[in-house]
Amino acid sequence: HSLSDYRGRKVFLYTWGSYCGCSFDPPVWETVYGELKDKNFEMISIALDTAGSAAVQSRIRPPALDQLPAEIQRLRGWSDDRWTAKQAPSHPCLIDEEHELSTSYGMSNVPMAVWIDEQGRMVRPPEPAGVSDHFRSMDPDSFKIPDAHANSLVENRERYVDALKDWVAKGAASAYALAPEEVVRRLQPRRAEELKAALHVRIGHHLFGSGDIAGAKEHIQSASDLCPEKWNFRRQAMVLDPDVVGALNVSPGYWKAMGDLGKNTFYPDIDMPGMTGTKDWLDDKATPQSAS
């Protein structure tokens, strides 16, 4: 697959990982795809997962869509209608085993998304794919979340989906399609550390494929150490052992890393009109809890 294959269509590209609660999103994104696929639009799902299909297959084609816990819906911010309508994806679902998008597009976590116009130009650079840090108010034992924060997650998700639909309908005239200079302003300059980190991830992927799990973890952790802002590296390094490949990461190391964030964000607020930010909530919070 190449993005040039989709030239002439608008493209919504979103990422996820088996270690993240966003791994439950593809069947729900399919409901959005169903509304837009006949409007010169393509949706592409890319899993950032070193273990490849072994890690992601059960998320792309879940065996029992109707049996996912209600807590997952609330944490992911999906409305009742979309959650009920979820189905196995028909949009392209790809796997990036070396996390190349993280370097080439400057992505720092999952899920993130990019909007690309018919000419192959980015009109919204990488940003959280409709999610926000309100999910950090969850109870780590029960996965339950206060209603107010669950509502904020749903509101932000629906605003994001509505913005996507507006862009598909209006193109460059949409208020959500950014001018080229604004896209450039929002893109982070690539640092030398990112290129070094990318090499560590490639080596880690090779070692993982050859069965050297310890070596793979060491190199991907080195990538995380070089670029601590790239949570996809950090989260990936925690789930390479055979017994946790493809599993949601709820390890003690993950909870500790989330707790250590303090008032810092896990997902940056989406810079889009109407989005409910999390800064005030984080400022008021003594010890933020963790995540999905």
Instruction: Please state the pTM of the whole predicted model.
Output: 0.94
**What number of residues does the chain have?**
292
Measuring CA to CA, which residue among 169, 157, 132, 93 is closest to residue 277? Answer: 132
How far CA 95 is from CA of 17, 48, 74, 111, 231, in Å, comes to 9, 6, 26, 14, 18
CATH number of 1-292: 3.40.30.10
For the chain, 292 residues long, give each residue's pLDDT as a single digit of tens: 789 999 999 999 999 999 999 999 999 999 999 999 999 999 999 999 999 999 999 999 888 888 888 899 999 999 999 999 999 999 999 999 999 999 999 999 999 999 999 999 999 999 999 999 999 999 999 999 999 999 999 999 999 999 999 999 999 999 999 999 999 999 988 899 999 999 999 999 999 999 999 999 999 999 999 999 999 999 999 999 999 999 999 999 999 999 999 889 999 999 999 998 886 666 665 444 434 4
